[in-house]
Every structure is written in structure tokens, then in C-alpha cells.
């Protein structure tokens, strides 16, 4: 039953071929059997999951169910969930029980879905491998010596290993699309403002966006339909109605104009990834798409721009963890300043400290004009460039990452290598547009059979057409 997609499970539940309690028990058992070696969950909430499943069965029996009623999901442990530990993968919040529910997870509860638990992530979502978690690394189900990607690596691994029907993640610079790519599943980063950020622990507020990690494009459409929508508690959420993303998915891509950015061809890109990209373009052409070259010349500034803006916002957002009201606190008799200092020094891991120091530096007086302000200007140029490109094309196609999943521990002494590998994902966040990792099979890389990644990007609020294109892609891939 775990081989079924969310859409298929939903059908089985509605037709009463299966109950949500049975399904939930099945996933809980799989988690118990398999997650010891993967470490994709930080917290499993078996008791409340079974209660939710019972309520879902009653709702289905009463005939007022939605597509997500009774479906067992997992949520990245960056979403606040009331009465449950919300750790953000950090020792700082290891003892934090959230007093409220995030808007996105509340919407899933309202839809009657079941939450199996909270998934592992890089500490405060900073990273690309899920290795910086206080709870230890998550492993890639296709090759357990390799990373599942990150920061939403727990969600990606759980979906790929069939330890939940679908999961939520967040994407600040690629944290949905990149782990989806490394783990061989679908990952959608919606347009900035499509989903409410309320109750998602902030990393970089102008870039963060919630989205789904799923087994299929149709599943991503169903999940997005439940997550999206205006929220008065988040002033950056778009005050527009939510379209039916799942409708018309099979309309095809005939006549769609797809852009291929000429600046995306990097020196040192493994030939396997380049071959995948070329094959992807051929698939689209075969389906009746017109592929044209587009130019995004400021792509070369995207990495420094992101790695100034994201740490700057993070350093400000993480100032709240001072040991006073909640979280890790190291008491001592040297006064309050020393209490702050020791609580933070003890509560945050190395990557988070690196970002805070970097962020504080680029914002400090004397340097902010040189770094932060210039990065904001570069961001505006990147935004304009994407807007302009989307005036002549409907979608842009490119890789997700310059290489497939690397070995666990490989970049432990060289964090810059991971930063550099974010080049293809961060532009969508800087520009605020939507992007989806589409399935494209496996590549033989370093002697291992690994998942490869391509993404389609669409204009602001262009998810309906983007999902249609991704679905067409999935049909071709299935036929391969
Ligand atoms: N890898 C990027 C970073 O480390 C993106 C993280 C994210 O999207 N949360 O900042």
C-alpha cells in the first residue's frame, strides 16, 4: 500500500477499500522498521497520528472528506506544531514545545490529514545535506553512505523510502528542490507569497517559502492546493484565490516556450548531468515545446548575493534565541550578558554560528554599504532579469545541482563546496519565482546509480502552467 501515490491512496480511502487507521498503522510500522538506518524523523507522533486517523475515517464515513483526508504526512521540523517539540534540528530548541500551530500545518489538519511526525533538517534549515542537524545526519535511501540533500533531507528521505505519503519542506535557497533531486522525488518551491510563512521558524524571511515533497506531480498539486492561500497573519502572503492546481494537469505542453539559460553551462559540470539536461530538452521538444536560448547574465552574482542576504537575515532572525523565554539556557552567576553568550555558544552548531558571524559582519556599520546594500541591488537586477525572461518564455529549464548526492562527511572541512553547489536553485528564491524538481531517472555516477535532477522554473504565480509542464515531463519519463 505504501507504493501508492497520494492520489491513489486518497481514492482507496474514499472508496473505503482502506481505512486511514490501517494506513497510518502501516506507515508507523515502516518507520519503526526502517527509519533506524535513515534517521529521517526527529519525532514520531504515533499516538496523535492514530487519533487523527480515527477522526479522518469518521469524516470520510460522514461524506465530507477532501483529497487529503486520512492521508499520513510528515512535516519538516521547522513548522511549529502545537503541543509538540519543534526543534529546527538544533540543540537550541531541543526542549521547545510549540504553543501554537503554523498556518500551513493547520491547513493540513483542517483538511483532515494525519501527521506522522516531524522530519530531520539541517540546523535552522542552513545547509544542503541534513548533516548539520543536532540529531545526526539523515541518509539517502538510494545509497545510505550518501546525503539525501538538504535542508529538507528528512522529508525527502521519508517520501523516497515510503515512510509517509508526502511531506512538507521549506526552500530558502533550494532546500526543497535539491533534496527532492538527490532522493529521486518531486519537490516544488512555490512563488514567494503563495503559502503563509506564519509559524515557520524564520531563516531568511525574504527568501523562505513552504512547499511539498511528493512522489508525483499530481500529488504536489494536491498538497499545494491545501497549503496555499492568503493568511492575514503573514503580510507577505498573496491576497489572491487559490486555483485548482490539480485540474487540467494532463493538458500537455504543446506550444509551450521553454528557455534554456546560456549562462547555466558551468565549467566542471559532470558530463552525466549535462547529458541529463540535454535529454530533458529533447523530451520537451518531442512533446511539442519550443526551446529557445535565454540570457540571464547576472547569474554569476547569484551566489555572493544569496550568501550575503540569507546570512544577514538569519543573523537578525536568530537574535531571539537568548535563553530567556524558551530554548537552551546555560545559567551562571556572571550576569545576563554571559548567560546569553553561553546559551548561544552551547545551543548553536558550527554552521549556524558561521552564518550569524557572516550576517552580522555584512550588516555592521562601515561594511553594510559595501556588502548588504550592493547585494540588494544585485538581487533587484536578478529579479528584473527573470521577469524579463518570462516575458518571452513560459518556463526555464536547468539542472538542480551541478552534481548528484555526495558522500556523507565529504565536505566536512570545506563548507564552501556546498555553498557553490547551490548555484542553480538560489536564483528562483532571489527572484521570488516558482520552481519544481522534475523526475528524470537515474545517472551512473562514481560507480553508483544515483538520482539526477532537473528543474523547471515558472514566473510569479505561474504554478498551474508549471505543474502542467512537470506532469508532461513525468509522462515521458514514465514511458522511458
Ligand atoms: N543550501 C542553502 C543554504 O544553505 C539553502 C538552504 C535552504 O533552502 N533552506 O542556505
Q: How many CA atoms lie within 13 A of 304 on its CB side?
A: 12
| Phi and psi torsions of 186, nearest 5° | -95, 135
Q: How many CA atoms lie within 13 A of 118 on its CB side?
A: 22
Task: Report which ligand 1 atom has the smallest distance to the Cα of 307.
Answer: 10
Ligand 1 and 152: CB distance under 6 A: no
Catalytic residue among 102, 151, 196, 401: 151
For the chain, what percent of residues have pLDDT higher than 70?
Answer: 99
d(CA 343, CA 40): 27
Which of 195-209, 232-246, 277-291 comes out lowest in average pLDDT? 277-291
Identify the pLDDT of residue 274. Answer: 86
Instruction: Give exposure, 155-178, as e/b (b: 16+ Cβ within 10 Å).
Output: bbbbbbbbbbbbbbbbbbbbbbbb
Q: How far is the CA of 175 from the centre of ligand 1 (A)?
A: 5
Which of 130-139, 206-215, 466-475 comes out lowest in average pLDDT? 466-475
Residue to mutate (ligand 1; options 128, 129, 307, 312; most atoms within 8 A of CB): 128
d(CA 284, CA 275): 14
Name the helix (H) or strand (E) containing 43: strand 41-44
Q: How far is the CA of 94 from the centre of ligand 1 (A)?
A: 21
Q: How far is the CA of 164 from the centre of ligand 1 (A)?
A: 23
Identify the pLDDT of residue 295. Answer: 96
| pLDDT bucket at 479, cuts 50 / 70 / 90 | low
Q: Is 175 part of the annotated catalytic residue set?
A: yes
How is residue 16 written as a grid cell? 473505503
Catalytic residue among 40, 98, 115, 175: 175
Q: How far is the CA of 425 from the centre of ligand 1 (A)?
A: 9
Q: How far is the CA of 149 from the centre of ligand 1 (A)?
A: 10
Q: Is 151 part of the annotated catalytic residue set?
A: yes
Residue to mutate (ligand 1; options 422, 437, 455; most atoms within 8 A of CB): 422
| pLDDT bucket at 477, cuts 50 / 70 / 90 | confident
Q: pLDDT of 132-171, one tens digit each?
A: 999 999 999 999 999 999 999 999 999 999 999 999 999 9
Q: Which residue has the cell 523530451?
A: 283
β-bridge pairing 257-261 and 395-399: parallel
Q: Is 128 part of the annotated catalytic residue set?
A: no
DSSP labels, 162-178? TSSSEEEEE-SSSTTHH
| Cβ count near 210 (within 10 Å) | 29
Which of 193-197, 275-279, 414-418 comes out lowest in average pLDDT? 275-279
Task: Report which ligand 1 atom has the smallest distance to the Cα of 351.
Answer: 4
Amino acid at each position: 500500500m505504501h507504493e501508492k501515490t497520494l492520489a491513489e491512496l486518497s481514492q482507496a480511502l474514499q472508496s473505503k477499500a482502506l481505512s486511514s487507521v490501517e494506513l497510518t498503522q502501516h506507515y508507523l510500522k515502516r518507520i519503526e522498521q526502517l527509519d533506524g538506518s535513515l534517521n529521517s524523523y526527529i519525532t514520531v507522533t504515533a499516538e496523535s497520528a492514530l487519533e487523527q486517523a480515527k477522526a479522518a475515517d469518521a469524516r470520510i464515513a460522514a461524506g465530507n472528506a477532501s483529497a487529503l483526508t486520512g492521508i499520513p504526512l510528515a512535516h519538516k521540523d521547522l513548522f511549529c506544531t502545537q503541543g509538540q517539540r519543534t526543534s529546527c534540528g538544533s540543540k537550541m530548541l531541543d526542549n521547545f514545545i510549540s504553543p501554537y500551530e503554523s498556518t500551513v500545518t493547520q491547513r493540513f489538519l483542517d483538511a483532515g490529514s494525519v501527521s506522522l511526525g516531524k522530519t530531520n533538517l539541517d540546523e535552522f534549515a542552513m545547509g544542503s545535506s541534513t548533516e548539520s542537524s543536532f540529531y545526526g545526519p539523515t541518509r539517502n535511501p538510494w545509497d545510505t553512505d550518501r546525503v539525501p540533500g538538504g535542508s529538507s533531507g528528512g522529508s525527502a528521505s521519508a517520501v523516497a523510502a515510503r515512510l509517509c505519503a508526502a511531506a512538507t519542506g521549506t526552500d530558502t535557497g533550494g532546500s526543497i528542490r535539491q533534496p527532492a533531486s538527490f532522493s529521486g522525488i518531486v519537490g516544488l518551491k512555490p512563488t514567494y507569497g503563495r503559502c503563509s510563512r506564519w509559524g515557520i521558524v524564520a531563516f531568511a524571511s525574504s527568501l523562505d517559502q513552504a512547499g511539498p515533497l511528493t512522489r508525483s506531480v499530481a500529488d504536489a498539486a494536491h498538497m499545494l492546493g491545501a497549503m496555499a492561500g492568503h493568511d492575514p497573519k503573514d503580510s507577505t502572503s498573496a491576497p489572491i484565490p487559490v486555483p485548482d492546481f490539480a485540474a487540467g494537469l494532463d493538458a500537455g505542453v504543446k506550444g509551450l516556450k521553454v528557455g534554456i539559460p546560456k549562462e547555466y553551462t558551468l565549467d566542471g559540470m559532470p558530463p552525466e548531468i549535462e547529458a541529463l539536461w540535454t535529454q530533458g530538452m529533447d523530451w520537451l521538444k518531442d512533446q511539442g515545446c519550443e526551446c529557445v536560448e535565454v540570457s540571464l547574465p547576472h547569474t554569476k552574482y547569484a551566489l555572493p548575493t544569496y550568501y550575503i542576504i540569507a546570512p544577514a537575515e538569519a543573523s537578525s532572525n536568530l537574535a531571539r534565541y537568548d535563553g530567556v523565554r524558551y530554548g537552551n539556557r546555560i545559567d551562571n552567576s556572571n550576569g545576563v550578558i554571559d548567560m546569553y553568550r553561553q546559551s548561544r555558544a552551547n545551543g548553536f552548531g558550527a554552521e549556524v554560528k558561521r552564518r550569524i558571524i557572516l550576517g552580522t559582519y555584512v550588516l555592521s556599520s562601515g561594511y553594510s554599504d559595501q556588502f548588504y546594500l550592493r547585494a540588494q541591488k544585485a538581487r533587484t537586477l536578478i529579479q528584473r532579469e527573470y521577469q524579463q525572461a518570462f516575458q518571452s518564455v513560459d518556463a526555464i529549464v536547468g539542472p538542480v545541482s551541478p552534481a548528484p548526492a555526495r558522500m556523507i562527511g565529504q565536505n566536512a572541512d570545506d563548507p564552501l563546496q556546498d555553498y557553490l553547489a547551490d548555484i542553480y536553485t538560489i536564483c528562483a528564491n532571489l527572484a521570488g519565482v516558482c520552481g519544481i524538481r522534475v523526475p528524470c531517472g537515474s545517472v551512473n555516477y562514481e560507480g553508483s546509480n544515483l538520482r539526477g535532477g532537473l528543474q523547471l522554473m515558472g514566473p510569479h504565480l505561474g504554478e498551474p502552467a508549471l505543474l502542467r509542464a512537470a506532469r508532461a515531463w513525468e509522462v515521458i519519463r514514465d514511458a522511458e
